[in-house]
Amino acid sequence: MLRTSAAQATTYAAIDITTTSLFATDRWTAGKRLTLDLGVRYEHVSTEAELQSQRVSANTVMPRLAATYALSADGRTVASATYGHYAGTYNDVQFSRNSAAGNADRLTGSYIGPSGEGLSFAPAFDPANYTTIAGTFPTANVFFAADLTSPTTRETTLSVGREFGAGLWARGRYVHRRATNFVEDFITIADGKTNVTRNGVNFGTFDNAIYRNSSLPKREYDAIDVQSGWQAAKSLTVAGQWTVQLRNHGNFEGEAANNPAIPSIVADYPEIYSERDYPMGRLDDFQRSKVRLWASYGFGLGRAGRLDLAPMYRYNSGRTFSYTTPVAVTPQQIAADPGYARRPASQTLFFGERGAGTFAGYALVDLASTWSIPVWRSVSPWLKVEVLNALNNQKAISWDTTVTANANGARDALGLPLEYVKGANFGNPTRTTDYPRPRPGLDGGRTYLMAFGVRF
């Protein structure tokens, strides 16, 4: 059993992140068919936070290039290419980790007392029955590299589009995207240790965590998307989009629900952790296909106003999940410890590559209708009604993925189990989010929305 305790947070602690940016761009018409866009963005970012041991003062230069070429003399078929660098957000969670802003001192201990359970089991609440295995003291053993900057994404796109006439057009695009310079914590022997004393109490020695920009975490994205639209009549428009992800892979997710900018373990305790703790594979938001088809039709009702109808078809192929379970650090891993102050006691182990499992795909039909009535001049009351999941799809699209390690199965060279056992509820939906919208019952998965107002 693990126990985490935090000291009293610093009252009114805050962080200020100041961004100053400059942007220059130029368009060059290189010929009758070729247009070039050249641009560059410069950002200077500084931080100021309560009790921050090191402030960030970062400079980033991001080039932007684009070319457009008319493949046909009439200009109705156009090819384009872009290349650009894009700086990520200076997330206040990441860039305040070495300050008291939002960060209390924290100790994590492992229970070593007598056996027992329940809320009335007094030994579980006695700190003396725990041994400290980790500690984070933002202003003592957490540091930033002097040249720390925001992560950067490098993106290349290639596209071709055509206007066919009669209101019909189509475009196809390829996107190649690579993220780099992630803000990652390093916990290594080379980064040292710190003896921490607070209010006269010596908490002991803890490993330092140094935040650096790193290419060890990886996120790679390649996709093709096709869009098309048709103005079939003055009052009827039909359009659609289909995105196919060719690759959306990485070795860390980087965030979780209500918990953004999470560092990974990729650069932590490298002698102890295994690559099975952070394998490459399909990320949580990998989705092979995503289709959207919609239309808008409006017709007059005379003195009764105007009615607009907008149906939409949505198809989402299945998302991914991984076969993981927490396991204790093995004797072989402990033997490889070169002398950390507090080595990890457990790890989340992957069986197979990241995203090895696939949930179910699904399709939904939504419908929106808006009725407006002109009253006087530009005054027009309106009423909008939407029905989400109009056909009441109650399909389970995700499910419980709990597995446990097979203690009697084969093991790898580090003594880590290679086989798993599925949990009792594996494959069964157990949450409202396991259904499209939101859970069967009452009126199934349908959702009704209504809004009204007055336009002037």
Q: Give the integer Cα–Cα distance in Å for 440 and 420.
A: 31
Q: What pLDDT does residue 444 have?
A: 59
Contact 140, 196 (CB under 8 A): yes
- Dihedrals phi, psi of 285, to nearest 5 degrees: -95, 15
Interatomic CA distance for residues 187 and 97, integer angstroms:
14
| Residue 391: C-alpha distances to residues 88, 206, 367 (Å) | 40, 57, 10
Contact assessment for residue 171 and residue 160, using Cβ atoms and an 8 Å cutoff: yes
DSSP-based three-state secondary structure for 405: strand
The amino acid present at 24, given as its one-letter code, is A
Going residue by residue through the chain (456 aa), what tens digit of pLDDT does each one get? 555 554 556 767 788 889 999 999 999 999 899 999 999 999 999 888 777 777 888 889 999 999 999 999 999 999 999 999 999 888 888 888 888 777 778 778 888 889 988 888 998 888 888 887 777 788 888 899 988 898 999 999 999 999 999 999 999 999 999 999 999 999 999 999 999 887 777 888 999 999 999 999 999 999 999 999 999 998 999 999 999 999 999 999 887 776 777 889 999 999 999 999 999 999 999 999 999 999 999 988 888 899 999 999 999 999 999 999 999 999 999 999 999 999 998 999 999 999 999 999 999 999 999 999 988 888 999 999 999 999 989 899 999 999 999 999 999 999 999 999 999 999 999 988 898 876 555 455 788 999 999 988
Phi, psi dihedrals of residue 334, rounded to the nearest 5°: -65, -40
**291: which 2 tokens?**
């289709």
Give the alpha-carbon dihedral of 227, 282, 422, 343, to 10 degrees. Answer: -150
Query: Is residue 81 helix, strand or coil?
Result: strand
Phi and psi at residue 432, to the nearest 5°: -60, -30
pLDDT at 157: 98
DSSP output for 302-316: GGG-EEEEEEEEEEE
Q: What is the DSSP letter of 372?
A: E
Closest CA to 208 of 282, 308, 98: 98
pLDDT of residue 9: 61
The partner residues of 177 in beta bridges, in order of sequence, read 155, 221
C-beta neighbour count of 59 within 10 angstroms = 11
Contact 139, 162 (CB under 8 A): no
**Nearest Cα to Cα of residue 342 among 100, 107, 113:** 107
Nearest by Cα to 154 from 171, 173, 175: 175
Strand pairing report for 142-144 and 209-214: parallel
Q: Report the alpha-carbon distance of residue 68 to residue 82 in Å, rounded.
A: 9
Structure tokens at 2: 């693990």
> On the CB side of 254, how many CA atoms lie within 13 Å of its CA?
19
Task: Tell me which residue has tokens 């050249």.
Answer: 38
Among residues 162, 154, 183, the alpha carbon closest in space to that of 229 is found at 162
Q: Kind and range of the H or E element at 230?
A: strand 219-233
Per-residue pLDDT, 441: 53
CATH topology of domain 2-455: Maltoporin; Chain A (2.40.170)
- Residues 6 or more apart in contact with residue 170 via CB below 8 angstroms: 161, 162, 164, 226, 227, 228, 229
Q: How far apart are CA 29 and CA 395, in angstroms?
A: 53
Task: Write out the H or E segment, with its range, that includes residue 333.
Answer: helix 331-335
Domain boundaries, the chain: 2-455
Amino acid code (one letter) for 304: A
